Amino acid sequence: MRDTVKAYAALMGIGFRAAPWHATAQLLTGIVFATSVPIGGFGAKLLVDAAIAGDLRAGLLAAGMMAITVGAALASVFYYVHCLFTVQERAGAVASQRLMELIGGAEGLAHHERADYLDQVQRIREEHWRLPGMVNATAGLVRVAATLAVTAVLLVQVDPFLLFLPVLSALSFWLGKVSKDLKVAAQEATSEPERLRRHLFELGTSVSTAGELRVYGLTALLGERHHRVSNTVIGQRNRASWRGAGLQAIDGAVNALAYIGAIGLALMHVVNHNATAGDVVLVVGLAAQMTSTVGTAVMYGTDFLFVLRVGQRFMWLKQYAAGTRRTGSEAVPETLHDGIELWDVRFGYPGKPVLDGVSVRLPAGAVVALVGDNGAGKTTLVKLLSGFGKPESGQILVDGADMAAFDTAHWQQRCAAAFQDFAKLEFPVRESVGVGDLPRIDDLVAVGAAVERAGASSVVQSLPQGLETQLGTRWDDGVELSGGQWQKLALARGLMRTDPLLVVFDEPTAALDAHTEHMLFERFAAAARTARQRSTVTLLVSHRFSTVGMADLIVVLDQGRVREVGSHQELMAGGGMYAELYELQSRGYR
Ligand SMILES: Nc1ncnc2c1ncn2[C@@H]1O[C@H](COP(=O)(O)OP(=O)(O)OP(=O)(O)O)[C@@H](O)[C@H]1O
């Protein structure tokens, strides 16, 4: 319950912080609109009574009252809608920003990797556009409450028994809600085939799949599967709609009876001289309006609960992100003297142990290559060293200090990295590279030097506006790069920081040819050995042994364990796994 209240408060907070005046005005104008309609009905009663009594003055007063309520209703609806859109837009922008901060700011990558977390995060991403809707849902329910309150007061004047009309609206509300729940349940039950349907459509129409579709002749197969999945989705949703329509029909019949009952009761009072003809007009108006009030209640009530559920997921993410924050007290060393030592490190994913007691020393100033078969655990090890996760047991010691005691953000500020699945940042080239060291994002000399170190100068020179060229064809004057060119820029980004303690290259050159990779790494290794970067540990993951051989130290991982450690010469002399793999690969090149 406390969590629900917190989620509600957080969602209202987003709306009120984003647009405080508009959110308040939406609630207030909603009340004016909601009460003006039944009050207008009361005006009609006074008008009829005045007409029958032949009282012109009372009639004009009643007409004036009706005119004011109509005017108030029209004006309030206009402002209500205006405020609604303003709150939605502004709160939407705030909610999206908050979500980006939470998803991108959570330390580690578990929420992108663990199936249970990933599912939550995926749902929040899909439903995040509902987050700004709480002010609107609340305003809708406040409107309903205001209408019901005024209606009840007016009905009691005629006959307290007429209160069965608002009471009956609870039954209507329930039936309407069950009917809507059926639809929502059908939508949720078909969410996976619906995702598949969209995926198939995407496959059948996107540029990235166009080549393979033609080569393998897949268009008809995809179309047929899309058709079959569509039938499943539509069939299931249709059945729910029909069941919902049945409930709505029952509701309609009950309401018709209640409507006739209420008018009959009012008529009876008129016949017995306990009520006026105006009261009959009032009851007719209020009873008719009850249906639309219930419709509004169902709509906003369901909306309210749905948005609340999204809000609860948002709160989960907030708590999760806060829980991942590692604010250690140990200071990250300025430079390395000994290096980085892994001591009996174990780590895995749910149900999948990966690193199985890894112990190895990465000496300060050394260029270390990490090799091993696919799935050996190289990337996992790189992630732990980069602070994306914590070992389940064992330690990573940086000059003897446990990395777990560092503030992760401080450690990551002293790391530089380039990964195989690099980001294609569609900014001007200067920024796309410069973000590798945010304080120097506008430092053209630093960006140019990083581009040069990454061997990407020719890429930049070939672009129409050099470093100022916009990347990505969806932007005005934007330019598309080849896979290898993108990768060179990602490498340049990884080389922006000049004083890292750890540089990791996790197959960042897979899109480049072996010769280019070799040349690049020769330069990196030379740079790593210069006086300025002497203490930096440079860790390189590559499957190309021609590159690996130049490292000072080679670590061979095999099924999550360190199998061999040594220089190229030592490992070749040892005749173990490395020597075997090296021989195999160099034979392939002969
Ligand atoms: N998010 C994840 N969830 C579950 N298992 C994972 C996840 N990421 C990796 N694994 C598993 O962990 C093992 C090690 O993966 P890792 O990516 O570290 O290997 P690798 O040595 O870098 O492989 P490659 O050479 O193919 O890049 C693999 O069996 C992989 O299936």
**Eight-state DSSP code of residue 189:** H
Residue 560 alpha carbon to ligand 1 centre in Å: 10
Q: How confident is the model at residue 513 (pLDDT cuts 50, 70, 90)?
A: confident
In whole angstroms, give the CA distance from residue 555 to residue 251: 73
**Which atom of ligand 1 has the smallest separation from the CA of 115?**
3
Block residue for tokens 């002399």: 573
Q: How confident is the model at residue 111 (pLDDT cuts 50, 70, 90)?
A: low
- What's the pLDDT score for residue 21? 97
Q: How far is CA 474 from CA 202, 422, 427, 479, 531, in A?
A: 18, 19, 11, 9, 44
In whole angstroms, give the CA distance from residue 547 to residue 576: 19
User: What is the average per-residue pLDDT within 189-214?
Assistant: 88
In whole angstroms, give the CA distance from residue 385 to residue 441: 25
Q: How confident is the model at residue 326 (pLDDT cuts 50, 70, 90)?
A: low
In whole angstroms, give the CA distance from residue 21 to residue 452: 53
Paired residues of 248 in beta bridges: none
Strand runs (DSSP E) across 190-245, as ranges? Answer: none
For residue 547, is pLDDT > 90?
no
Domains of the chain as residue ranges with CATH = 2-159+275-324 (no CATH), 330-414+501-590 (3.40.50.300), 422-498 (no CATH)
At 45, list the tokens. 């009663």
Q: Which of 125-129, 227-231, 578-582 has the highest mean pLDDT?
A: 227-231
111, 380, 558: residue to mutate for ligand 1 pocket, most atoms within 8 A of CB: 380
At 409, list the tokens. 């953000």
- What's the pLDDT score for residue 589? 53
Contact residues for 63 (Cβ-Cβ < 8 A; gap 6+): 43, 47
What is the overall mean pLDDT for the chain?
Answer: 89
In whole angstroms, give the CA distance from residue 71 to residue 45: 18
- What's the pLDDT score for residue 112? 67
Residue 345 alpha carbon to ligand 1 centre in Å: 16
The residue count of the chain comes to 590
- What's the pLDDT score for residue 11? 94
* CB neighbour burial string for 569-583, b if at least 16 within 10 angstroms, e if fewer: eebbeeeebbbebbe
- Residues 66-90: tens digit of each pLDDT: 999 999 999 999 999 999 999 999 9
At 253, list the tokens. 């019949």
- Residues 332-357: tens digit of each pLDDT: 999 999 999 999 999 998 888 999 99
Q: Side-chain half-sphere of 535: how many Cα atoms within 13 Å?
A: 16
378, 504, 544: residue to mutate for ligand 1 pocket, most atoms within 8 A of CB: 378
For residue 531, is pLDDT > 60?
no
Global pTM? Answer: 0.74
Percent residues over pLDDT 70 in the chain: 96
Block residue for tokens 């199998």: 563
Residue 569 alpha carbon to ligand 1 centre in Å: 29
Determine the Cα angle at 266 with ends 264 and 272, to 5°: 100
Considering only the C-alpha atoms of the chain, give the largest distance between any 2 of them, rounded to a whole number of Å: 118
For residue 532, is pLDDT > 60?
no
Q: Which residues line ligand 1 (CB under 6 A)?
A: 113, 349, 352, 354, 372, 374-380
Residue 211 alpha carbon to ligand 1 centre in Å: 28
In whole angstroms, give the CA distance from residue 368 to residue 362: 7
Q: Side-chain half-sphere of 385: how many Cα atoms within 13 Å?
A: 33
Least confident of 101-110, 276-285, 365-374, 555-564: 101-110
On whether the CB atoms of residues 385 and 340 are closer than 8 A, the answer is yes
